[in-house]
Structure 1
Amino acid sequence: MTAFPNSSLVTIGDTTFHDVVSNQNGQTYRIFVYRPGGEPPKDGWPILYMTDGNAVIGTAVDAMRAQACYPTGTNVCYGVIVTIGYPVDGAYDPLRRSWDLGPPPGQSYPPFYENSPEVRTGGSEEFLTFVEDQIKPMIEADIPIDRNRQAIFGHSFGGLFVLYSLFTRPAAFTTWIAASASIYWENCAINEFLPRFEAAPATRPGAELFLSCGEYETDKLAPFQRGAADEADRLTQKKITRNNDYSVELMNRLNRLPDSPIRTEFEIYAGENHMSLLPVAVNRAIQTAFAIVKPHLIS
């Protein structure tokens, strides 16, 4: 028996969720939608789409509500947040996200758990089509959206999906935010799509890409990992993942493109590892997607 007899479930303010069946694969996705109160701006609301919807929706909405109410002090305006997740109680559905967020052609891996399906990657194109052809029209039919202020965020495999989306459909969004993107995955398979982008970088005006990783995703171990039984294995894995190196290489390559089709930045978050970085990166995504004044334009 609870010590609080009048207790109630907590809800996320101004947020709803909708279970949507994909026309691509027949699977059900849980779409979380935060819609600000009040009248929309003349051109419609700016909007941020996010992968791993179950894991990020609470952090994203609270970061929005805490900052947008004080715009002169935070440089954050109100906007719409749409996160795309799964009808599960946990933060992730590891099996489905592996397929949805991994770039094609993908590979097969042993099951996560005994007596469960094998893990497959390679469904990014299918997932991107679902977002573009179903989710965006659904949102825009119900909420006035500024199509020139559309952003997308993803972390880890989600960051990899952001890069795949940029390289294959560069006009789908204006602001692209890839935190701890798993560029190394499957021998850097994502780089196979980069020449296509470089040959025809048809981005929107003002396009920008924000890359990031945690301090302990570099060659440094977190303090609690030093001297641990798996220290040597972690150091070996760091030579493979190289999150900071691959991100910097991509940033430099994109910033050297003729006519600067996309401005690219990279940031390291002090004191964070691959998973602890997530709430920090979500907050930065809110600040980036809903910035009133772009910091790089301030003289």
Structure 2
Amino acid sequence: MPQPSLPEAAAAPAPVMLAGCTFADLKFENADQPHRIFLYRPSKPAPPEGWPVLYLTDGNACFATAVDALKVQASYPNGTNVGEGVVVAIGYPTDEPYDPLRRSWDLSPPPGRIYPPFFPDTPDVRTGGGEHFLTLIENELKPWVEEQVPIDRSRQALFGHSFGGLFVLYALMAKSAAFSRWISASPAIYWEDGAILSTESAFLDNHQSPLDIELHLSAGQYEGETLAPFHKGTPEEQKRLERAKETRTVELARNMAERWARLASSTETITFEEYAGENHMSVLPSALNRAVQIAFRRVK
């Protein structure tokens, strides 16, 4: 029986390009190495007030997913309630989804600690650079973005996942006027003996008046003491249960949302969401989609 012939390519295979997207490796003043900044801008003219903008940490891992979610939903705003906007993702000059060493420094709140290297013959892991990273975003990145595209400063959102989610919480407490919408997915609240909880306590004690911000916390169903079905009965089941009791991602995020809701100006502005069937890594696309819906929700 003759074998079917393979199709002939019209041209040699080429890298896939995301329409409307660019990146630049920028060397900021308070950073030792460049950051890779990914930028998506709509093709149509900006509204008079400028575009709403969503900033993403872990840009290499998050940018394309967020852009695709935005394009699909903004193309049908009456059905999705999502309008056009700008996506800015802060990453690193690498083809990998993460740079573990640099993100450990950038995304963790001060004062931080020093840990053994991730791999042999590599540098020690330093944490505590969150204050520097926030300063970079506010003093250098935002002005650079506004040179590229018109931005509505009243509609700026920040998203982070895991360490990035922890950074979102730290940034909110350090400079609550920096963004109007804050999206913290699977935040590592437990990190370094739960130091962010002391920061939170001091922040809330000093803000007894209603909080005029929007905060969305979330976690996957399998980030608590409920194990994913594919982990049950495996040799690492007990180890994962012990780790879950340490991180308590679902519990800590939900409890934080409840504390903040008591001081919120509206019952709709502080929310917690648990994503069914998701674990710490698989939750990322769902959380990014929700970030897009929050950041680019149409103004009534």
Displacement after TM superposition at 1:47 (Å): 0.3
TM-score normalised by L of structure 1: 0.93
CA deviation string 1:98-118 (max 9, x = no partner): 000011111111111111111
The one-letter amino acid paired with 1:157 is F
Q: Judging changes above 3 Å, is the alpha-carbon distance between structure 1 residues 203 and 131 closer, same or farther for their aligned structure 2 residues?
A: farther
Contact in 1 for aligned 2:211/2:265 (Cα 8 Å): no
Q: Percent identity?
A: 52
Q: Judging changes above 3 Å, is the alpha-carbon distance between structure 1 residues 104 and 248 closer, same or farther for their aligned structure 2 residues?
A: same
Residue 142 (1) aligns with residue 138 (2): no
Q: Decide which of 208, 213, 223 is 2:214's aligned counterpart.
A: 208
Partner of 1:103: 109
- Deviation larger for 258-267 or 242-251: 258-267
Partner of 2:166: 160
Partner of 2:50: 44
For 2:172 and 2:209, the matched residues in 1 are separated by 8
Structure 1 gaps of 5+ residues are 295-299
Displacement after TM superposition at 1:262 (Å): 9.2
Partner of 2:90: 84
The one-letter amino acid paired with 2:122 is S
CA deviation string 1:69-114 (max 9, x = no partner): 1100111100000000000110000000000001111111111111
Partner of 2:233: 227
CA deviation string 1:214-244 (max 9, x = no partner): 0100210101100010100100111111111
Residue 247 (1) aligns with residue 253 (2): yes
For 1:25 and 1:42, the matched residues in 2 are separated by 34
CA deviation string 1:2-26 (max 9, x = no partner): x845211111110000111121133
For 2:255 and 2:240, the matched residues in 1 are separated by 22
- Superposed CA RMSD in Å reads 2.1
Secondary structure at 1:274's aligned position in 2?
A: coil
Q: Judging changes above 3 Å, is the alpha-carbon distance between structure 1 residues 75 and 200 closer, same or farther for their aligned structure 2 residues?
A: same
Q: Decide which of 252, 257, 281 is 1:275's aligned counterpart.
A: 281
Partner of 2:270: 264
- Deviation larger for 26-35 or 251-260: 251-260
Displacement after TM superposition at 1:201 (Å): 4.2
Structure 2 gaps of 5+ residues are 1-7
Q: Judging changes above 3 Å, is the alpha-carbon distance between structure 1 residues 251 and 63 closer, same or farther for their aligned structure 2 residues?
A: same
